[in-house]
Structure 1
């Protein structure tokens, strides 16, 4: 199954977290969201961990200055 794409780079910063959590919350078990961002979103990852725990598996696909790609797998 192809991952659902979420490109945070095109969303105003003040709306990014709300949009991200809205999209993540819509995923069903077995689905993946591929997240594109211009920086490593460490506070976002901490919040994902605290809200979802092991239900969401985080896997970096690419991590370079100015370009980060992360897969969020729903278990």
Structure 2
């Protein structure tokens, strides 16, 4: 899945809700790999993605910042940005 370029105003949306669970993490990891420095994508999920966010931090320490845009109770939206450095 392509990610936004740093100069693109609108981030890519990665909506996990219609996916089966085995596809979800692989989709997010592919989006992270494709994310350019300074770019952001918004993850949408039907539950708080806390285990996934912990795994991202363990796998890529200090590479991504996370901002909760919507914190439930039905939909969670999380902006994930790759650091510029």
The answer to whether the aligner puts 1:41 opposite 2:57 as a matched pair is: no
Give the match for residue 29 of structure 1: 37
Tell me how far 1:24 sits from its aligned partner: 1.3
What RMSD in Å do the two structures reach over aligned CA positions?
0.8
Q: 2:61 aligns with which of 26, 31, 53?
A: 53
| Count of residues in correspondence between the two structures | 75
Instruction: Show CA shifts across 1:18-60 (max 9, x none).
Output: 1110111101101101000000011101001111111100000
Taking the aligned partners of 2:34 and 2:46, their CA distance within structure 1 comes to 23
Runs of 4+ displaced beyond 2 Å:
none
Q: What is the TM-score when the length of structure 2 is the normalising length?
A: 0.83
Which segments of 5 or more consecutive residues in structure 2 lack a partner in the other structure? 1-8
Higher helix share: 1
Q: What is the TM-score when the length of structure 1 is the normalising length?
A: 0.94
Which segments of 5 or more consecutive residues in structure 1 lack a partner in the other structure? none
The answer to whether the aligner puts 1:6 opposite 2:14 as a matched pair is: yes
Larger Rg: 2
Higher strand share: 1
